[in-house]
Structure 1
Amino acid sequence: MKDPASDPTDRVQDPVGDRRQDHDPVSAWHRLADTSVLLDGFHALKHAVRFRAEVLVAVTSDRQAALALTDELAPDVRDALDALLVEVPEATYRSLVPRPHPTAVAALAVRPSREANLRALAHTPRTAPVVVLDHPRNLGNAGAVIRLAAGFGATGVVTTGTLDPWHPTVVRGGAGLHFATAVERLTVAELPSGPVFALDPDGEDIRGLKLPDDAVLAFGSERSGLSVDLRARADHLVSLPMRPQVSSYNLATSVAMTLFHWSAPQGG
């Protein structure tokens, strides 16, 4: 049974009962935008609601189409989205977001507290690994990794370096699944406890290893690999099978392969 203390869905409030939506959604948007998480598109809002994000304001230029999409793809959150979504003119919607989404839906939500995320990352015993992106560079790749980690039920995703894992482009790439796992930026010294398995071309072939549930899985940047600090922290260097003369895998692909290996019976 899942330990409630490790469940990220318990870290935020109910999206309907606790929302703070003004009668004028545009005024609310302008008041809250600088301090809230932008949920860009229907799928981001859908996932945020499923994982109990506190949604403050949600707008769409076509409420009927958005609710029809909900009926088709996410009937479990139909009541919540029906209560949240406010229709605004298309020009107004486009003025609120930096890059309009094809679903013409956008929302603002409360970011989970750092303290809550740190508790989730530190909670032991862990039943799933923590993914560490060591000095990542690409915002879209970071979002794709968070989406993968949520799908595999990872405990969380940690970034080191300057990239903000809650940047709007990362959240867009993660399709709102930041709320399904613990996402924080830490230093190498602050990483959660557990054996660190760092991906490196010169490491031991992952196919011969069983990754434990409390593993910290570390991935360097595609350009420069692992940082000196992370390499020094690593307990094991691990490599993915790769054809000779192929330089590297995409970061999200590497994470997906590693998490699949962890999740497979007997690591095989």
Structure 2
Amino acid sequence: MPNFEGYISSASNPRVKEWAKLLDRKHRQREGKFLLEGVHLVKEALDSGWPLELVAFDEGSEVGALFEEYVVGNESGGPSWIPVSPDVIAKCTETETPQPIFAVAKKRPPNSKSLFETERALVAVLDGVQDPGNVGTIVRSAAACGASAVVLGKGTADLYNPKTIRATMGAVFHVPVLEADLTELLPEAKSSGAAVAGTSLQATQSCYDYDFRRNVWLVFGNEGSGLSTEVSRLVDHQMIIPMTGRAESLNVAMAATVLLFEAQRQRMI
């Protein structure tokens, strides 16, 4: 039988207050959970088999019909389905005009050790990338081109921030993403045979001449200041993205996307 629970109308309900706390990073870290907002993200999570604790939906909307197959097929141990009021939806979401559904998901961080066992790994590494939209876009691009993983270093926007999650468009469920101390993880990657590469406007080698078919970890730095001193010391190769038109530089998410898809192109040949 579908795991339905009783209707919750009040945004002051104790359970609702606990869900809303997941909008705060400290609470997400403490509970090991995060929020998913909207039809697309909830469907992506369900389709990928991501562990969901519950799905809350506006009983007065038509959204229930979109999820009928998931509810009917809900097995014991699956997420609880909880009809709620629009006030509850508004309390637990950040968008001005929220969609009538959200879910509480459980964190499922991957094991970094598995990356060192991947032959010809392609890893996107973010060092202090602060904008949630940029982080989410890079995760989306990494998933699209079949990257092995995305690593979030110190100072990078929280993966589980609702803005970051929305920017991934569900790609977060299809590529491993982990947080790590880059000054510890990158040397370990290098010792396992990985090349660490980055971009620089002063570099002489074009990204189109670089060999991405090897085990390579691509590092991308802060939007304003680039790579930190500690991480830049660990970079083996610097490359430049040729620009025949007129632009001072590319947004970090755009640069990451160019390199990741060039890596995909080379690996498909």
Shorter-chain-normalised TM-score: which range? 0.7 to 0.9
Distance across 1 between alignment mates of 2:136 and 2:159: 8
1:199 corresponds in structure 2 to 199
SS of 1:206's equivalent in the other structure is coil
2:112 corresponds in structure 1 to 118
SS of 1:166's equivalent in the other structure is coil
Deviation for aligned residue 1:99: 2.3
**TM-score of the pair, normalised by structure 1:** 0.77
Contact 1:58 1:86 survives alignment (8 Å): yes
Whose Rg is larger? 2
Q: Which moved more, 1:36-45 or 1:96-105?
A: 96-105
Change in 2 beyond 3 A, CA 1:67/1:23 = closer
SS of 2:89's equivalent in the other structure is helix
Deviation for aligned residue 1:223: 1.4
2:130 corresponds in structure 1 to 137
Contact 1:206 1:240 survives alignment (8 Å): yes
1:105 maps to which of 80, 85, 101: 101
Distance across 2 between alignment mates of 1:78 and 1:198: 48
Contact 2:45 2:173 survives alignment (8 Å): yes
2:230 corresponds in structure 1 to 229
Deviation for aligned residue 1:130: 0.9
Distance across 1 between alignment mates of 2:70 and 2:242: 40
Deviation for aligned residue 1:111: 0.5
Counterpart of 1:110, as a letter, is K
Aligned length: 245
Change in 2 beyond 3 A, CA 1:208/1:258 = same
1:38 corresponds in structure 2 to 35
Deviation for aligned residue 1:67: 4.8
1:161 maps to which of 143, 154, 157: 154
Is residue 60 of structure 1 aligned with residue 54 of structure 2?
Answer: no
Distance across 1 between alignment mates of 2:72 and 2:259: 35
Identity %: 22
Correspondence list, 1:1-268, <5 A: 23=6, 28-32=15-19, 33=22, 34=27, 35=31, 36-61=33-58, 65-69=62-66, 79=73, 85-99=81-95, 102-113=98-109, 116-120=110-114, 122-163=115-156, 164-192=158-186, 193=189, 194-203=194-203, 204-243=205-244, 245-265=246-266
Deviation for aligned residue 1:267: 7.5
1:13 corresponds in structure 2 to none
Counterpart of 1:44, as a letter, is L
Change in 2 beyond 3 A, CA 1:117/1:51 = farther
Distance across 1 between alignment mates of 2:198 and 2:225: 14
The runs of 4+ residues in structure 1 deviating greater than 6 Å are 75-78
Contact 1:44 1:177 survives alignment (8 Å): no
Per-residue CA deviation, residues 14-61 of structure 1 (Å, 9 max, x unaligned), is xx99x9x86566654444544221111111112222222111111122
Change in 2 beyond 3 A, CA 1:154/1:84 = farther
Distance across 2 between alignment mates of 1:101 and 1:175: 18
Contact 1:50 1:77 survives alignment (8 Å): no
- The runs of 5 or more residues in structure 1 that have no matched partner are 1-15
Counterpart of 1:132, as a letter, is V
Contact 2:53 2:104 survives alignment (8 Å): yes
Distance across 2 between alignment mates of 1:155 and 1:78: 34
Pick the structure with more helix per residue.
1
Change in 2 beyond 3 A, CA 1:138/1:62 = same
